[in-house]
Structure 1
Amino acid sequence: MSLTPTQKKQFRSIGHGLNPIISVAGNGLSENILLEADRALEDHELIKVKFAVGSRDVKKQMIQELAKIVEATIVQEIGNIALLYRAAKNPDPKLSNLLR
């Protein structure tokens, strides 16, 4: 899904106040990390993921791979943090970072 520049700006401003929900270490993307990312995106729609890997190229590749597997859109990458978005099928106003 492609986001308009206005949507990206809005999501970045919302994401600024969020804390990373998932931390990915140098071990890579395990099945548990993928399941947790999928669950978090379904609940919250907009999440931050922290990557603690050494190389920039490896980090960029892992971000792209995670987004592809969980079918999310990368809103922003800054340092070791990635902001991911995926619209929920049935958004819960109490959990969604976009509806609060």
Structure 2
Amino acid sequence: MNLSSKNKQKLKGIAHSFKPSLIIGKEGASEATINSINMIFENKELIKIKFNSFKNEIDSISEYIKNSCDAIILGNIGNILILYKQNPDSEKRRYEF
């Protein structure tokens, strides 16, 4: 799914007040981390991930997470990553585009 820049901005605005759903620490983006993110995406379409470690590698780790979870990167602000993944069940979708 491709989002327009207008829709990405809208989702980033919605996510602004969210607390991080997951904090990535010294383990990095391990298989367990990817599984946790996928579990979060079962209930939420829009999540924030905070990086406590690996702050210099946020771009490469973000790309790995995006590819592993089939998500869309909406952006990163400092050490916070904002991701979106549309729920495959249309009845559970919170955001329609």
TM-score, length basis structure 1 = 0.84
Q: Does 1:19 align with 2:19?
A: yes
Q: Does 1:41 align with 2:45?
A: no
Aligned residues: 95
Q: Which runs of 5+ in 2 are unaligned?
A: none
* Structure 1 residue identity aligned to 2:52: A
TM-score, length basis structure 2 = 0.86
Is the contact between residue 71 and residue 86 of structure 1 (CA under 8 Å) also seen in structure 2? yes
Q: Which runs of 5+ in 1 are unaligned?
A: none
Give 1:54 shift.
4.2
Aligned to 2:18, the other structure's residue is in SS state coil
Is the contact between residue 75 and residue 85 of structure 1 (CA under 8 Å) also seen in structure 2? yes
* CA-atom RMSD in angstroms: 1.8
Greater share of residues in helix: 2
Is the contact between residue 53 and residue 59 of structure 1 (CA under 8 Å) also seen in structure 2? no
Distance 1:64 1:12 in 2: 18
